[in-house]
Structure 1
Amino acid sequence: MSKKKFISEVFKSGGTIGALSPSSSFLAEKMLKPIHFDTANCIVEYGAGTGIFTHKLLEKMNSNAILLAFEINTSFYEELTKIEDKRLVVINDSAEKIEHYLDINHQKKADYVISSLPFAMIPDQVVDVILKNSFEVLSEKGKFIQFQYSLNALSKLKSIYRKVNINFTFLNLPPAFIFDCSK
């Protein structure tokens, strides 16, 4: 997707897209660094957008793994459905419904949840449900990995997860914090 089309989607989104440009490959590398791809059987991606993380996940995932990619923006969803990979399931629905989609895809737990959701732009009660449901579906050694442009989500994440590591990259527009959360 072109930058021009991306920016057009940002303005049409009514606040559901929290970025001014697609995520950088530098941010993607830092987001995916905590993942043990050799043992990951089920990865969930929230806010797949233009597929920057999606493509990198598919490059690194083992051949038996599954990737459930949630995207509520219709244009982004349609672009993601063009990716031809049997391991990818693209979902045009809210991340709140993760349990339902794991169930219908015959997955008991997610090994990793990668999130690009703009928490600052989503109502608190929806964020709370997404975070609670994500915690519930994570495997015991699973991780929830989230990026944000501020530290505002830190207290929510710390209230749910035992361990929250923070990383940062300047090489993104805007620069971003990466939260690596463990049960």
Structure 2
Amino acid sequence: MAIPDHPLHSAGSISSEPVPSPLGISFGEFLKHPLKVGSAFPASDRMVRRMLAPIKWGAVGLCIEYGPGTGVFTRAILSRLPRSATLLAVDTSREFTRHLQRHIDDPRLRAVTGTAADIEQIAARLGLGQADAILSGLPFSTLPQETAAAIVASSAQLLRPGGHFLAYQMRAAVHPHLTRHFARVDKGFEWWNIPPCHLYWATGPRRSR
């Protein structure tokens, strides 16, 4: 996920043009922004299933995804969400956001170009309330520490009391931020992915204000 500043864009009409290769888009963005894209490879089906398994998706009204990339997790979440739910996907790469807007024809999806550090403002601008779940694929190991801390703190503020923060990471940099802002953090590791990833499920968001 790249981090240039772009104006906010919400999902629009779906293009009928051929779907470009998700792997090609991921590699292109990775080559342009190697320190700001979590991985050049889309997540494996096995990691997606394991990452999403603990959540009772039928009870989710609002889910937020940071760094959706080409939409592997996005599509999996939409397949689990109720018809009345909303999925807000936030990415700073306009290339990724446009891909989601053009090729996922689902009214529950709001794909926007922006930064996760501004998630409270983005949600307010779209008229969205508190979230039941937040999924992050952001590379916290390459984010500035102040930015990483702000993202997790804002996420904890935006989650409902029983909400979940989920993260998959090449490294464990997000873990101390999660323990600071959540009462419980469960950990796992998935080898069956390129690259292998640390998995985190955090619950009990602590309110800092």
Taking structure 2 as the reference length, what is the TM-score of the superposition?
A: 0.84
Query: Deviations along 1:113-165, whole A, 9 cap, x unmatched?
Result: 00000001111111111011000000010000011112232222111111000
Q: Which runs of 5+ in 1 are unaligned?
A: none
Residue 50 (structure 1) aligned to one of 54, 70, 74? 70
Distance in 1 between residues matched to 2:177 and 2:118, nearest whole Å: 20
Aligned-partner SS, 2:59: coil
- Determine the structure 2 residue equivalent to 1:148: 169
- Determine the structure 2 residue equivalent to 1:31: 51
**Matched positions, count:** 183
Q: Which runs of 5+ in 2 are unaligned?
A: 1-20, 205-209
- For the pair 1:131 / 2:152, whether they are aligned, the reply is yes
Distance change in 2, residues 1:105/1:4 (3 Å): closer
Sequence identity (%):
27
Q: Specify the code of the residue in structure 1 equivalent to 2:131.
A: A
User: How far does residue 106 in structure 1 lie from its aligned partner after superposition?
Assistant: 2.5
- For the pair 1:106 / 2:127, whether they are aligned, the reply is yes
Distance change in 2, residues 1:2/1:143 (3 Å): closer
Distance in 2 between residues matched to 1:153 and 1:96, nearest whole Å: 14
Residue 68 (structure 1) aligned to one of 76, 79, 88? 88
Q: Specify the code of the residue in structure 2 equivalent to 1:174.
A: P
Query: Deviations along 1:14-60, whole A, 9 cap, x unmatched?
Result: 52102131111111111211221111000000000010000001111
Q: CA RMSD in A?
A: 1.2
Aligned-partner SS, 1:122: coil
Which range is displaced more, 61-70 or 147-156? 147-156
Contact 1:13/1:73 (<8 A) preserved: no
Distance in 2 between residues matched to 1:36 and 1:49, nearest whole Å: 24
User: How far does residue 101 in structure 1 lie from its aligned partner after superposition?
Assistant: 2.2
Distance in 1 between residues matched to 2:108 and 2:22, nearest whole Å: 25
**4+ residue runs of structure 1 moved beyond 4 angstroms?**
none
Distance in 1 between residues matched to 2:92 and 2:200, nearest whole Å: 22
Residue 15 (structure 1) aligned to one of 35, 39, 42? 35
Contact 1:18/1:121 (<8 A) preserved: no
Q: Specify the code of the residue in structure 2 equivalent to 1:19.
A: S
Distance change in 2, residues 1:123/1:139 (3 Å): same
Contact 2:25/2:70 (<8 A) preserved: no
Distance in 1 between residues matched to 2:57 and 2:145, nearest whole Å: 32
